[in-house]
Amino acid sequence: MKTSNTRIYKGIPLDIRTELNSYIVLDTETTGLSPVNNRIIEVAAVRVDHGEITGQFQTLVKPPLNAYGQLVPYQITRITGIDAGMLKDAPSFEEIADNLIEFISDLAVIGHNVNFDINFLYESFERCNGYHFSNNFVDTLSASRKLLPGISHSLGDLAQYFNVVNNQAHRAMSDTLTTYRCYLKLREMALQNGAVTAATPYRARSSGWFF
């Protein structure tokens, strides 16, 4: 069975203090936890250049039917609000892949528990066109664990700590914008301990969802 160890082209994690003139913040919603066996149903991303959001990408994604003949399991609809009716006319991942690759380009990717999103994108690109998704990444989950050990580290709790409003939790664009604002707060905190620019050897320790 394929495991994350086979993602040989996967990028490396960057310290949150790394200076990035341009980068992507993104989030995905999926049909489950396995990048191999489950599929993306929504992806959203924003591009940031010199501290300003300069572009946005957002789309629902129609997955293949699962073993039960479903586009999306009920428990995922309950969490995200995304149901089969919303997905039936959405494009497939194959149909959005080229545009998403062009939008992300070779920029560093920022996300909360970003290994989850990176692994899903890696598998999805490889599955549909053989593209190797090798962008480096910054994980706000790992950063929050290091900088704020006394709090819960879900995106919702982190946003509450920083007084960041997430108007539509568990939808990709709202979570992306929330992650972006939390990233700025965390990076400001981290820089108080001295700036670095090199990639760090650690990877996010968790591979699950955090609510």
- The residues that are catalytic are 170
DSSP assigned state of 5: G
C-alpha closest to that of 155 among 141, 172, 173: 141
Q: Tell me how far apart the alpha carbons of residues 155 and 175 are, in angstroms, rounded to a whole number.
A: 8
Q: Cβ-count burial of 45 within 10 angstroms (0-12 exposed, 13-18 middle, 19+ buried)?
A: buried
47 contacts 53 by C-beta, under 8 angstroms: yes
Please give the torsion angle defined by the CA atoms of residues 145, 20, 133 and 32, in that order, rounded to the nearest 10 degrees: 30
